[in-house]
Chain A
Amino acid sequence: MASKVSRDILYECVSEVLKGSETKRRRFLETVELQIGLKNYDPQKDKRFSGTVKLKYIPRPKMQVCVLGDQQHCDEAKANEIPYMDAEALKKLNKNKKLVKKLAKKYDAFLASESLIKQIPRLLGPGLNKAGKFPGLLGHGESMVQKIDEVKATIKFQMKKVLCLSVAVGHVKMSTDELAQNVHLAINFLVSLLKKHWQNVRSLHIKSSMGTAQRLY
């Protein structure tokens, strides 16, 4: 997938965004978003434009992931200071909707061992579904820390009725290089999903939460 955004422009815009946040510091960690404007795309006719993509560097470092684990995973979580709950702890919630909702609110995402994930509807009811936080599968072959980093590095995007879409690709404490790589990856993936690829892209901008938008394309 060839890129229509040259490395020079990419780095220039990324630098501008980072510089902007330096000169006017905010009391929170600003997110950097990629804004994509589409053209020649009809939301009524064309296939839905949505999906998930894993970035190279974690855009939301403060994301809290909780492990719903079997014995082995709970031990691993404890050793790595990762929040966890076992089947017993989940059973104690007694399928109480308020408690499940509270649990869902406490964490940004969940990962669950294979044996537990199959029991979630029975143990917790649809509370995690409703909150959009149904756990992802945590296998035994992979490192828990790595899997959690993967979850933190994955971003979702969805085009609704309007022809523009905004997706978080980083934050202002990232280095120019890291941010540029994330932006590049996100652009390439998003464009690869469009039917006519670059011909469907009207514009690309990046901006920090409080900063001015920098045009990439």
Chain B
Amino acid sequence: MFEDPQSSDEESPVPDADACSGKELVKLFQQEISPASEIAASLKRTCGLHIAQSCEYDTVAVGLSRKELQLYRVRESGELALENGSLGRYESAIRGVRFFNGDPNSLVCCTEDGDIYLYDVRSGSEVHHFVDTSEGAKKTVSSCDINQNDRVLCASSEVQKNGDSFLLFFDIRERNYLGCYWECHSDDITHVRFHPTNPDLFASASVDGLINVFDISKLTEDDAMQYCFNVETAIDAINWHTDPTGRDLVSCVTTTNDLHLYDVESQDSVALFDREQITHSMRRTSAIDCNVVGTHNYGNGSFFVLAGSNFNKGKECLRTLRYDNKCLLPDRSFNGNKQIVRASVYNDKDQYLIATGECGLITLWKCRMDGPEHPSINSASKNLKQKLHVTHRAKPY
């Protein structure tokens, strides 16, 4: 009677499962990787919601739902080890953690109440506390990032009582508040990301459905606002990528688990994958259980999407899909995942994926196999199986 393709008259929903046989999966996902290391953030219940890695890849900071920031060392073997105690404990929820781009010993952590803490991981102490009280009360902060040359810190806010949402800027070296943008979004700003190599370029995303790209070298907000992409639905996270010719791309994951990709300069929509398509690419059956964690750059000019399933508390699968010329192709499958993953980092030098999630576990998978390493950019036309020596784990079925 109703045309909604997602509705059915069955009493129980279709359980999420693999959409093909185990044999097919092994063929498609080329690599099935087991964890090299796993550590629990706590013996008590907590979730890992934020994670960041240092530029030398030897340290990882994890923001927990119980308002605690922890530091882990990543040994060359891939082993994770907790650094003494916790780096910080806060009154309000952690909303973002970022290491500096050039300094492996400095990181910032922002909390919901509007406080942004700068730490030196060598001493494990707080070096500075950034806060904007220019208008009296602190603004609730939702995300933060540091620009390429570690000079500027940007924190985004949720929509405040007066209806404004802000992008707050701080000079890291001078330790002062620089000013803000406040006209470019009309609802909670959910994510800010500086460009990886251009210190003046950054992008912000919001529940209002817009991605704004700014050049902060311009004097006013009006002049700084370079591009606006209307995704037309609330955005969860954004990331910068490049296409094979070096053009800047911006991707976003929406709150409904869709992935959009834009070419920045031409402002064209390059690709759009809804959660049904992502689920299909992942070879799973249930789109309503799809959990898109985010995107990461391989380091060789292409990127991948990390996604799992909420079904069975996330234990079903964790997979990556390689983006290649408007397609999402099966890439890697991670065994032994025990949780719904909420945040991840990718070490493109050693090819480690580190993820954390709703069981408070921090897991490291080594993606490098024997033989040629990164999937090449034009791999869609090549048969990877001929190049890689893949050790398949026998799947019982």
Contacts and interface: CB of A to CB of B under 8 A. Distances in A.
Interface of A: 1-3, 7, 44-45, 47-52, 56, 95, 117-118, 120-121, 125-127, 129-132, 134-137, 154, 156, 158, 181, 184-185, 188-189, 192-193, 195-197
B13 A197 contact: yes
B340 A44 contact: no
A137 B225 CA distance: 19
Contact of B256 (A95, A132, A193): A193
Given A45-B47, A130-B183, A185-B4, A51 B234 contact: yes
B113 interface: no
Contacts, number: 118
B347 interface: no
Contact of B13 (A1, A44, A126, A195): A1
Given A2-B11, A126-B184, A193-B256, A44 B65 contact: yes
A118 B226 CA distance: 10
Contacts of B227: 118, 121
Interface stretch (B22-30, B97-105, B206-214, B369-377): B206-214
A48 B65 contact: no
A158 B234 contact: yes
Contacts of A126: 183-184, 221-222, 225
Contacts of B342: 47
B397 interface: no
Contacts of B340: 195
Nearest to B214: A121
A18 B287 CA distance: 34
A36 B6 CA distance: 19
B2 A1 contact: no
Contacts of B269: 137
Closest 4 CB pairs of A and B: A132-B186, A126-B183, A192-B288, A50-B234
Given A51-B256, A52-B233, A126-B221, A184 B228 contact: no
22 contacts: A2-B12, A44-B93, A45-B358, A48-B234, A51-B254, A52-B209, A52-B232, A52-B234, A52-B256, A117-B230, A117-B267, A118-B267, A125-B225, A126-B184, A129-B184, A129-B186, A130-B185, A135-B230, A154-B232, A189-B6, A192-B287, A193-B255
A13 to B, nearest CB: 16
B186 A188 contact: no
Contacts of B184: 126, 129-130
A47 B237 CA distance: 11
Interface of B: 1-4, 6-13, 47, 49, 65, 93, 183-187, 190, 207-210, 212, 221-222, 225-228, 230, 232-234, 236, 254-256, 267, 269, 287-288, 310, 340, 342, 358
B268 to A, nearest CB: 8
Nearest to B142: A48
Given A2-B8, A56-B3, A197-B288, A137 B254 contact: no
B8 A51 contact: no
Given A2-B9, A2-B11, A49-B255, A129 B234 contact: no
A127 B226 CA distance: 14
Nearest to B93: A44
Given A130-B185, A188-B6, 19 more contacts: A1-B6, A2-B13, A44-B65, A45-B49, A48-B190, A48-B234, A51-B233, A52-B234, A52-B256, A95-B222, A118-B227, A120-B228, A121-B226, A125-B225, A126-B184, A134-B208, A136-B230, A195-B310, A196-B310
A125 B207 contact: no
A47 B2 contact: no
Contacts of B12: 2
A134 B234 contact: no
B2 A184 contact: yes
A91 to B, nearest CB: 15
Contacts of B10: 2
Nearest to B258: A51
A56 B1 CA distance: 13
Nearest to A127: B183
Contact of B207 (A45, A121, A158, A185): A158
Contacts of A56: 3
Nearest to A7: B1
B255 A1 contact: no
